[in-house]
Amino acid sequence: MARNVKKADARTPLNQLAPMDGIFLSMETPETPAHVGGIAVLDPSTFEDFDFAHFRDFVAERLALCPRFGWRIAQVPLGLDLPYWVDDHEIDYDQHVRRVGLPAPGGPNELADLVGHLYALPLDKSRPLWEMFLIEGLAGGRVALLWKVHHCLMDGESGADLMELLFDISPDPKSRIAGAAQAVDHPTQHETAPSEAPSWRTILDRSMRNAVKRNTKLAQFLLDAATADFDAASLIGLGTAKKEEAEEAPPVPRSSFNGTVSSRRAVAWSAVPLSAVKEVKEQLGVTVNDVLLGLTGGAVRKYLEERGELPEDTLRATVPVSTRQKDDKTVGNQIIDMSVDWATDVADPVERILRIHRDTKRAKTEAAKSGGGLMVAIAEGLAPAAHQLLMQVSTAFIDKAPLPANAVFSNVRMPDMPFYIGGAKIVATIPISVLAPTQGLNITAITYCDEIFFGITADPRLVSDPWILAEASSKSLLDLQAAMKDWSSTVG
């Protein structure tokens, strides 16, 4: 089923990938595909005519309003420069929106096994870099939507555009294309990409000019790194404190989920009440993110302790931080990473959160000063071919190199109301994310209505049963609530 993608007025041409977007593409390997995604569990009983054909047509109509989902990648020969976005003209939605069935009635474990297999498959780079699977056969007549979008196409904040397009606040999926004014006013309508890849002359000219810019930025980074104002942490974007102001941090200890990541993926999930997390947040004077880091840190501690593998020093989590300004809906990534103390060496749940809160404040300040550290320097200072070579070389020493962190934790907030997709009510949302070469674990939290869902993405070779971690994240809240009673009486 082929459909023409409605083309927008050219306002601001967007044709070449930004450096940070390019790095997600050029450093991708078969073992570490760089797409992000999620599962939406749907109740189709809220819309009488919900079926696969209806869903496919719904997706085709809505995504026609967002030109970026009709773009494909045009590589520059030999990786001498960043690739270009090219309008694919005509999308075959049958290649992007697919139907899969589970033997009914499918439960969470069966759904997770299927999703892990589908999510591990890389996206086809000859087509626009996204795909969806409507999974039927779930218990209770429910269905699940699995979506995958390449990280070079969007980050967590710009991913809100996808929700804005697909999500409705009522079970009546009204056409948005019918309202021409509404379609024109949609911010993503200002995105454009050329119909064809640039000419050889243009590619050569831009490659030469961009090479000069990269060399200048790389030289500046090396000069900054050589000055006395930067410590070793600043080189990997984990801090910029002057040496005389900061104590030397211990190296990140290795855990069982820190090893060479394979191409396999496993997923699991659990949920906690948002109201309970907010209550702890108010009592302790911390943030929701601090509480979630404390809950997941407690889960990781319990997981490793039961296996006799808990390191004496605390594990650390990489936490992506958005630098995107409000109302900025441009394509691509605007994020930097900060490294946060996960306090896995602290048994008391309250003290764990308080320590995480203190360290997060430090990490935010240092991440803002660092401007992204080594990752930004690589993205802006090296050509894609050099990115790939760097990845190949680092892979050879991956088990000996210092760890930047043990795992990734991120937190995404959705509007506080129920949503519908094609008329079907969303009853649960489960985030799925990427794995780094040395990190076989990613935990992402997403808030939907009055629940916070923990999505576990893992390499099953390094995390044998991610359901244990998912369930431990929820059980950590019970431990925290019990500890809060003792803390309140002590403080009172």
* Active site positions, annotated: 151
Dist. CA 341–CA 328, nearest whole Å = 30
* 238-262 burial: b if 16+ Cβ within 10 Å, else e: bbbbeeeeeeeeeebbbbebbbebb
**Which residues are bridge partners to 272 per DSSP?**
452
- Distances, alpha carbon 464 to alpha carbons 69, 209, 405, in Å: 35, 48, 20
For residue 203, give both structure tokens: 């590619």
Beta strand 97-106 pairing with 12-13: unpaired
The letter for the amino acid at 279 is: E
The letter for the amino acid at 437 is: P
What residues contact 338, with CB distance under 8 A and at least 6 apart?
A: 237, 238, 318, 319, 321, 360, 363, 364, 366, 367
CB-based burial label for 272 (10 Å; 0-12, 13-18, 19+): buried
- Is residue 476 within 8 Å of residue 299, measured between CB atoms? yes
Dist. CA 198–CA 103, nearest whole Å = 48
Backbone angles phi, psi at 482, to 5 degrees: -65, -40
Beta strand 420-421 pairing with 424-432: antiparallel
Dist. CA 91–CA 97, nearest whole Å = 11
SS3 content of the chain, % helix, strand, coil (to 5): 40, 25, 35
CA angle 208/210/214 to nearest 5° reads 120
- Is residue 242 within 8 Å of residue 231, measured between CB atoms? yes
Helix ranges (H only) for 227-348 are 274-284, 288-306
- The candidate with the shortest Cα–Cα distance to 149, out of 141, 161, 139, 167, is 161
CA angle 89/91/93 to nearest 5° reads 170
